Chain A
């Protein structure tokens, strides 16, 4: 069972470079999320999507863009990476999430130097 798959798992970027993180889920979930996790800060929501073709801003959206062209994929883009974006990024998905579990990918460890 694949569940939620994130690629890549690790990446080192130079300041100013761009990259895209891919999240793919095979559970036909409507909702998908991107979080970042930093020491002492917990999981903070960057962007989310409530269905194919929709996206919305979360708590910390600045410096990131997202797209949900296909239901199973949720892409997170960094147009011009900054050291402050060094973090662990988690993607998650859920059905209509009331009283339901969110399933997480294994995370992407990103370092911006």
Chain B
């Protein structure tokens, strides 16, 4: 069983739509949480970190629910350029902070 689970999608949405991705993690000792973006045939790049209080960066909002071991990413007013795969990443504490990746959620934004 993968430690970090994501719905693979694809999520196919029109421009301007709001879309939300969810991610669950199994290790309650996890301390660091991130969303990465990966374009086709490219390397992953950090989209945003996820903080306990939740955080927002423009059209993107990330939330963390430690009790339910759940992370979310909300994208408002989707753009064509948002089409990509979104990777949930969790690092655990208590030794080596090794990033563990979910399998990714594919987003396709169409005109």
Contacts and interface: CB of A to CB of B under 8 A. Distances in A.
Contact of A104 (B43, B49, B102, B104): B43
B103 A42 contact: yes
A100 to B, nearest CB: 8
Interface stretch (A11-19, A65-73, A78-86, A90-98): A90-98
A45 interface: yes
Which residue among B34, B89, B101 has the maximum number of chain A CB atoms within 10 Å of its CB?
B101
Interface in A30-45: 31, 33, 35, 40-45
B85 to A, nearest CB: 9
Given A40-B8, A42-B101, A98 B96 contact: no
B96 A43 contact: no
B87 A101 contact: no
Nearest to B101: A43
Interface bracket on A? 20 to 34
A104 B8 contact: no
A1 interface: no
B104 A45 contact: no
A102 B99 contact: yes
B45 to A, nearest CB: 7
A99 B32 contact: yes
Contacts of A35: 101
Interface of B: 2, 8, 31-32, 34, 42-46, 49, 87, 89, 91, 93, 96-104
